[in-house]
């Protein structure tokens, strides 16, 4: 059954056992799951299959960033795992993103959503300056999001702080996938550009990526329900 919830739980966990135990505490009707670099490096594709067999749609968040041929081939391999979403870094540029879109268009059958990371939510203006980008995150995000839409991808990963501006500038169905989500009482951790779940939805986020506030909660399912309730209150 397709999931209607905007919540994507980031399973930043060390191994198959920890991830499966967490998945068993969650409900595929209430959230999708995100497999990132730590878990995928530890388990390989087996984790994707294990989560799908429990009814979850999986966002494979490996943020590919390489030359066009290498990145497009990685995206094709991800599609072969029947993941719901896969992503690349928008700063890989136009030719890279177009190659990724084209490789998916050439495949028959269902295609994953293809999104591109703009500016990581752990970065703020000083961090950008240090790597030679002398503009505010908002400006860089808008630039990369326009490029991503122009390359025909389905959406971007950005902070919900930028979501309102992007919603006004980009097409209605362009997906805004927003990590850096923190309920009011949650620890900020290493995130910088944070937004509450409710504010993120009000700003126009399509999906809320939430890791530690759920996976480190005493009752992860209750944490998901509380966040969903906060969106409707």
Residues in contact with ligand LLZGTKA7 by the rule CB under 6 A: 10, 12, 36, 117, 120-121, 157, 179-180, 189, 191, 209-212
Q: Which of these, 199, 153, 154, 155, lies nearest to 180 by C-alpha position?
A: 199
User: Which of the following is catalytic: 15, 54, 66, 190?
Assistant: 66
Q: Between 20 and 102, name the residue whose CB sits nearer to ligand LLZGTKA7.
A: 20
173 flagged as catalytic: no
For ligand LLZGTKA7, give the closer residue by CB, 22 or 102: 22
Catalytic residue among 63, 127, 164, 226: 63
Rounded to a whole number of angstroms, the minimum distance from the CB of residue 221 to ligand LLZGTKA7 is 17
Placement of tokens 């501006």 in the chain: 165
Say whether 43 counts as a known binding-site residue.
no
Residue nearest to ligand LLZGTKA7 (CB): 211
CB of 34 to ligand LLZGTKA7, least distance (A): 6
Longest dimension (CA), the chain: 47
Counting every residue written for the chain, the total comes to 233
Decide whether 150 or 189 has the Cβ nearer to ligand LLZGTKA7: 189
d(CA 23, CA 27): 8
Q: Is 66 designated active site?
A: yes
Active site residue 189: no
Long-range contacts of 229-232 (CB under 8 A, 24+ apart): 230/183, 230/196, 230/197, 230/198, 231/6, 231/197, 231/198, 231/201
Contacts of residue 121, defined as CB under 8 A and 6 or more positions apart, other chains included, come to: 158, 159, 178, 179, 180, 191, 192, 193, 194
* Residue 211 assigned to a binding site: yes
What is the gyration radius of the CA atoms in the chain, in angstroms? 17
Closest contact distance (angstroms) between CB of 213 and ligand LLZGTKA7 is 6
Provide the annotated active-site residues.
Answer: 61, 63, 66
- Which residues are part of a known binding site for substrate? 12, 34, 61-70, 121, 182, 191, 211-212
């Amino acid at each position: 059954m397709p999931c209607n919830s905007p919540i994507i739980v980031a399973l930043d966990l060390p191994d198959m056992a920890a991830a499966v135990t967490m998945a068993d505490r969650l409900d595929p009707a209430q959230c999708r799951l995100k497999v990132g670099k730590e878990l995928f490096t530890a388990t390989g594709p087996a984790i994707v299959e294990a989560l799908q067999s429990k009814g979850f749609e999986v966002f494979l968040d490996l943020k590919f960033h390489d030359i066009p041929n290498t990145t497009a081939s990685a995206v094709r391999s991800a599609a072969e795992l029947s993941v719901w979403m896969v992503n690349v870094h928008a700063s890989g540029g136009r030719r890279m993103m177009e190659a990724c879109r084209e490789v998916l268009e050439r495949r028959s059958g269902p295609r994953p959503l293809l999104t591109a990371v703009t500016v990581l939510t752990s970065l703020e203006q000083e961090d950008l300056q240090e790597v030679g980008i002398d503009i505010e995150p908002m400006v860089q995000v808008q630039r990369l999001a326009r490029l991503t839409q122009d390359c025909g991808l389905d959406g971007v990963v950005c902070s919900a702080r930028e979501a309102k501006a992007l919603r006004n500038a980009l097409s209605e169905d362009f997906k805004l996938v927003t990590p850096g989500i923190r309920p009011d009482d949650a620890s900020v951790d290493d995130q910088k550009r944070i937004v509450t779940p409710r504010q993120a939805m009000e700003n126009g986020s399509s999906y809320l990526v939430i890791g530690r506030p759920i996976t480190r909660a005493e009752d992860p399912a209750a944490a998901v329900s509380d966040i969903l309730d906060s969106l409707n209150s």
